[in-house]
Amino acid sequence: MPLENTITDKDLLSDLQHVAEQLEHIPSYEDMRKHGKYGPATYRRRLGPGWEDVKRRLGWKPLHESFNPVQVSIEDGAWLSGLIDGEGCFRIQKPSPHSGNSKSKSFSPTFCISFRSDDKPLLEQLCNIIQVNYHFHIDNSNYKHRVGLNANPAYKFFVRDLSTLAYHLIPVLERFPLRSKKRYELPWFKLAVTTLLDKRLEGRRNLGYTDEERNLLDRIYNALHELKGYNIDPHKIAQKYSLPSTHPFLA
């Protein structure tokens, strides 16, 4: 491998472009480790400081800069909101109490939705509206034990990526508000997403939670769990878990 002081910025950019064309997408840190001519740390030192800065040299933009919910048409936005009202789910995966005193696992805000496999075009349309590219998972776990017309494999679609949730999905649903009980879940789900995203942006992605963060995420987890119950008053839940009550649905 060439000595770093003999490598020019032009060399690095040329290699980045070569790998991007080879892989047909903006390369990640690991992509450059596997396919690049130079070590990925060299790219960061010379073109960084962060890997996102390196990717910007290829024209890459963060999700919040490359997607604007205003570009979603009224027809598509209303359709998506109605679809999620009926079939979507907002949840937070909580650390296991049996694993390292819950400190080695992450809270994971997750949006999920599922349909029969013959309704796959609906999921493809959803991805097109919020501009994400995911592979669908076919769940056959219960299919063999069921009978009847509805006993079919289902496509399950999950979004766990914080940036996709924060900059794509949630802004669209704020522009085209939900009308079912899920409208009560979204603001607190968003609070969990932004809390974890801020932690990442502060450079603490792989570090533990602060006591304040863990306490807040625990309260949101419990509040969302209770909101899924029947005939629940969101005002009382906000008071019970000391969560912000300034959202429109709690005004």
Query: E strand or H helix at 56, and its extent?
Result: helix 51-56
| pLDDT tens by residue, the chain, 251 residues | 555 567 888 888 888 888 888 887 778 888 888 899 888 888 888 887 777 778 777 777 776 677 889 999 999 999 999 999 999 999 998 866 655 544 445 789 999 998 887 888 888 899 899 988 665 556 655 545 555 555 667 778 888 888 889 999 999 999 999 999 899 999 999 999 999 988 877 777 777 889 999 999 999 999 999 998 888 888 899 999 998 765 555 44
What one-character DSSP code corresponds to residue 24?
T
Condensed to tens digits (0 to 9), the pLDDT of residues 188-243 reads 999 999 999 888 777 777 778 899 999 999 999 999 999 988 888 888 999 999 98
pLDDT at 186: 94
Angle made by CA atoms 112, 232, 188, in degrees to the nearest 5: 45
pLDDT at 92: 92
pLDDT at 154: 77
pLDDT at 21: 85
pLDDT at 101: 47
- pTM here is 0.72
* Residue 112 phi, psi (nearest 5): -140, 155
Residue 116 in contact with residue 152, Cβ under 8 Å? yes
**What CA–CA distances, in Å, run from 152 to 47, 137, 138, 141?**
51, 14, 10, 11
pLDDT at 102: 44
Cα–Cα dist 161/163, whole Å: 6
Cα–Cα dist 148/132, whole Å: 34
* Residue 176 phi, psi (nearest 5): -120, 85
pLDDT at 129: 93
Judged on CB neighbours under 10 Å (0-12, 13-18, 19+), 249 is middle
